[in-house]
Every structure is written in structure tokens, then in C-alpha cells.
Amino acid sequence: MKENSLSKNKVNPKSITKFILVVIFIIGLGFLVTFISSKYFSEIGNYEIEFLDTRNKNEVKMEAEKETIEVVEIDKKLQNPPEEVKALYVTAWSTTLPDRVDGFIDLIKKEKLNAVIIDVKDYSGYIAYDIENETVLKYEAKKVIIPDVDDLIQKFHDNDIYVIARVTVFQDPILAVARPDLAIKNKATGGLWKDNSGLAWIDPASIEARDYIVEIAKDASERGFDEINFDYIRFPSDGRLSQMSFPFYDSEVQTKREAMKEVFEHFRENLPDLVISVDLFGLATVNKDDLGIGQTIEDAFENFDYICPMVYPSHYANGFIGFQNPAQHPYEVVKYSINHAVERLEAYRVAQEENSEGQKKSLAKIRPWLQAFDIGAVYGPNMIRAQIDASNEAGGVGWILWNASNRYSTRVVNLVD
């Protein structure tokens, strides 16, 4: 019985072998799990470290880019702007032709000019470059004519040419259609009032309309334009004026002059760091009233860096200062006009010094638009030079030539000594 009992309890070698194999399997499995786990968590750790590193690099990169952008914004402006602008007017359409742009640059350098003034918003109401302003896009007021405004500005700057953006203000058929509540209405029809050219206008008393122009001016400046020039910054002067109905302007509350002075002040207050200029009728230099359009030169003195009266001799009425055809007397007409503008500026300066307490506002300089087109007379180099001499002698600071078709090659010859 004993023997049989011992025999029954004896360990089977095969069982031992199985046991050993199971142990080895378990140990191996443990090593495998440990290895995989360590590898996995190591990779996670590396991923987290890499993520943190990437994030930090991105942050550093963003900071560097931000600093670079800030530097670029500063560099977008011409670093040494001219003390006296000698400019050609250029339409947006002219900038679409590379050869024509090169021609302007060559002419400017050859004839010792130093600036261009380019339409970025003309009588059509469209903004002529790829602006991304939300308000402009909402009103569908963008029409890209200038292919690459940044490259265009840079090309002029590379040739030491000062670049001015011309912005038509209240003559704006696009805004009038998009926002008829801001537009001048026709009393007879209730629809949009239009001038003799068939163009609708915005009520100058509209704060929202003024802000719209401010937004456009800021955007143009950020793109690199050195100066913003405001044209048609007035009430309408032609068309059936008696049929105009204004949604905001009330003649019983304020005069057109008072309303326009508010516009001037609004632009200055909201564009304090920009160089801005204003176009006025030539007669604003000599008339003491507002010409029925709200423009009085004294109201512009404190609110702009440059006042640009359009002293085209052909635009003065027959009989002006005794000339039956003022266009045939460019020197006399311009000299008379700029003399009066400068005299009024100096009188204003004296009054400011006598009446102001504390810091006085800086006052504008007079920089006229001059005629470079054939109306009333043929305007070749001698006629244009006569205007330039007259303006310089009267105290004007620089000048801009207007030719609607931008044809200057036979006119801009030996204008500057």
C-alpha cells in the first residue's frame, strides 16, 4: 500500500516540463508587456515634449513674424518724403499697363518730379484694389483694377517716388445704391438724386458715411500710400439742386459750411497720424462764402496737412480779374488765386496766435492742382511752367498736374530747374 501510495504521489516529469514552460511563458509575457509599455509611454512622452517644443517654436516664430510685420509696416512708407511734392495724376486704369507705369517713372525721374497721385476710389464709388474691409465687401464696392497695389507702391518707392491715394468722398453711386438711406434723394421722384453726370451723391451730414471714408483711408495708408487726398468733399454743385432732399442735413439747423467743417474735423480727428490733403474749388481761394457747396478755405486750415485748390485757369468764369478768357492767362490766374490763399492762411495764423491758449494746431500748406489739359487754350510746357512759377512765387508748396487721360510726355518738359 505504501509503495503504491508513493507511486501515486510521484511527480510526473511531463508535468514539470509543462510547469516550466508556463513559467517561462509568463515571464516572457511580462517582459514583452513591460517593453511595449515603456516604448509606448516613451513615445507619448517624446510626443508631448515635441508638441511643447513645437508650440514654443511657433510662439517664438509668431513673435518674430509680428516684429517683422511691424518693421515692414513702417518701411512701407517712403522713408524720405519730399518737402515739396511735384506730382502727376494717374488713374487706376493706367496702372494696369506695366509699360505705362515705367513711362511715368522714367518721366518723373527725367523731369525731376517726385510724386504720383493715384485713384483708389474715383467717381464710380469702387475701391480699385484688393481691399478686404468688411464694410466695403458688404456694399460690394470693391472692383480690383490695380493688379497688385503693394507691388505698385513699392515700385514707385524703389524709385524715390511719393505715392498719394486719391479718394472721392461724397460723389458715390455705389454706396448710394447699397445704402439709399444715406443718399441724397430726389424730391420729385423719391429715388436717388443725380447730378448732371448721372451720378448719385451721399449726404455729407451722415456720420456713417464719413466713417466709411475713414475706414478706406486707413486701409490705403496701411497698404503703404504716403498720403490720402480727399476729393469731392463737398455738397453737389450741378444738377437740379432744388430737387435735393437730405436724410440728415437740415438747412434750418446748420449751414452747408458748418456741416462741411464737421466733415473736415471728423477726418482729422479720426486720422490723426496720417498725412491728409483736401481738394477745394479754385474759387475757394478768393471767395469768402462757401460757394454753395460748403467749402470755405479757413475751415480746412487746421484739419489737413495740405490744401489743394484746383486753380485751373479754364475753370474760372469769363471776366475773372478782367480776362475774357482766363485760360489764356495761366500765370496771372494762378498767381492771384494762390496769393489770396496764402494771405488768408497767414491771417488765420495771426488770429490763432492771438486767440489760442496753450498748444496751437499746426496749419496746412497750400499745394495747388494745376492745368495740364487743353480747355480754353492749348496747355504745353510753357503754359504749365507759367502756373508753376506763379504758385511758387505766391507761396505755394509743391503742385499736382491734372490730365484726365494721363498724357504728359509732350507737356511735362523742362518744368523744374
Integer CA distances (angstroms), 96 to 92, 99, 101, 129, 149, in order: 7, 9, 8, 11, 10
Q: Which residue has the higher pLDDT, 361 or 406?
A: 406
d(CA 161, CA 109): 9
Residue type at position 255:
T
Asked: is 82-402 a CATH 3.20.20.80 domain? The reply is: yes
Instruction: Give the model's pLDDT for residue 104.
Output: 98
d(CA 257, CA 263): 10
Q: What is the per-residue pLDDT across 54-71, written as a single tens digit (0 to 9) for each?
A: 344 444 444 544 444 444
pLDDT above 80 (res 334): yes
Q: What is the per-residue pLDDT across 152-165, written as a single tens digit (0 to 9) for each?
A: 999 999 999 999 99
Q: Which residue has the higher pLDDT, 6 or 371?
A: 371
d(CA 300, CA 348): 11
Instruction: Give the model's pLDDT for residue 53.
Output: 39
Out of 104-108, 335-339, 351-355, least confident range: 351-355
Instruction: Give the model's pLDDT for residue 75.
Output: 64
Out of 62-66, 174-178, 226-230, 300-304, least confident range: 62-66
Where residue 361 falls among pLDDT bands split at 50, 70, 90? Answer: confident
Q: What is the mean pLDDT of the chain?
A: 88
Phi, psi of 80 (to 5 degrees): -130, 75
d(CA 390, CA 380): 16
Tell me which residue of 311, 415, 304 sits closest to 369, measured CA to CA: 311
Instruction: Give the model's pLDDT for residue 16.
Output: 54
Residue type at position 36:
I
pLDDT above 70 (res 209): yes
Instruction: Give the model's pLDDT for residue 143.
Output: 98
Burial class, 105, CB count within 10 angstroms (exposed 0-12 / middle 13-18 / buried 19+): middle
